[in-house]
Amino acid sequence: MNQTMAQLHGRRAGLAHAPEPGTPLLLHACCGPCSLEPVKLLRAEGFEPTICWTNPNIQPVSEWERRLKTLRAWAGEVAHVNVIVAGDDRAAWERACAPAGFDRERRCRACYALRLAEACRVAAERGFTYVSTTLVVSPYQLFEACGEVLAALAPRYGLTPVWRDFRPHYAEATRESRELGMYRQNYCGCRFSAAEAALERHAARDERKRAKAAARSARA
């Protein structure tokens, strides 16, 4: 763990006291399914999350609409959590992230920075003290990079980052979101991630075919 992450975790442990029940926290959310566990867990700690949607990375726009609709339905009907729809500057995403192309580390860092900066801006503007994100529920995200970005950004806006490792709750989030009949996307959001995910699915399918063929010839 590098120094920034160590500081971030230290800050978590060092929250001098547990938050008073109902302490407001702005929670950047990437989608509905990834919000289930963070909202529950943060509430259990004493925070009361307000969700902030700012995801100009999601392509195409119809997909962006579908994910937001799913999030809003769950937030309103199930979780009873407020949702702020913040800025979604697609041109800024193209300028800051797209040039990295298939260099995933560089592209995703820039993408986290764009979204979390907007979430921090909204949090500061609305008087929040604490900020967090659902981004790292998924084990497919770059956990350390995301934490570093949040740790660097939050203090610039006078905020305290609330950084939690939500990854162990991914399986539960998957199960629960299926039970609730929520739409679950099969790629992170941008066109590059859609291509990467499709390639991974094809590779996995080819591998299964190879394994079956090998088993058949072993039996012959």
Binding region for ligand SF4 (CB under 6 A): 57, 97, 107-108, 111, 188-190, 192-193
**Cβ distance to ligand SF4 smaller for residue 30 or 42:** 30
Shortest spacing between CB 55 and ligand SF4, in angstroms: 8
Cα-to-chain-centroid distance, residue 9: 18
Interatomic CA distance for residues 120 and 115, integer angstroms: 9
**Cβ distance to ligand SF4 smaller for residue 141 or 177:** 141
Shortest spacing between CB 134 and ligand SF4, in angstroms: 12
93's tokens? 């995403």
Give backbone dihedrals phi and psi of 11, rounded to 5 degrees, phi first. Answer: -65, -35
**Cβ distance to ligand SF4 smaller for residue 47 or 56:** 56
Q: Write out the H or E segment, with its range, that includes residue 128.
A: none
**Cβ distance to ligand SF4 smaller for residue 79 or 116:** 116
Shortest spacing between CB 75 and ligand SF4, in angstroms: 21
Asked whether 40 and 137 are in contact (CB, 8 A), the reply is no
Interatomic CA distance for residues 52 and 30, integer angstroms: 9
**Cβ distance to ligand SF4 smaller for residue 109 or 169:** 109
Shortest spacing between CB 189 and ligand SF4, in angstroms: 3
Interatomic CA distance for residues 27 and 71, integer angstroms: 13
Shortest spacing between CB 192 and ligand SF4, in angstroms: 6
Asked whether 79 and 34 are in contact (CB, 8 A), the reply is no
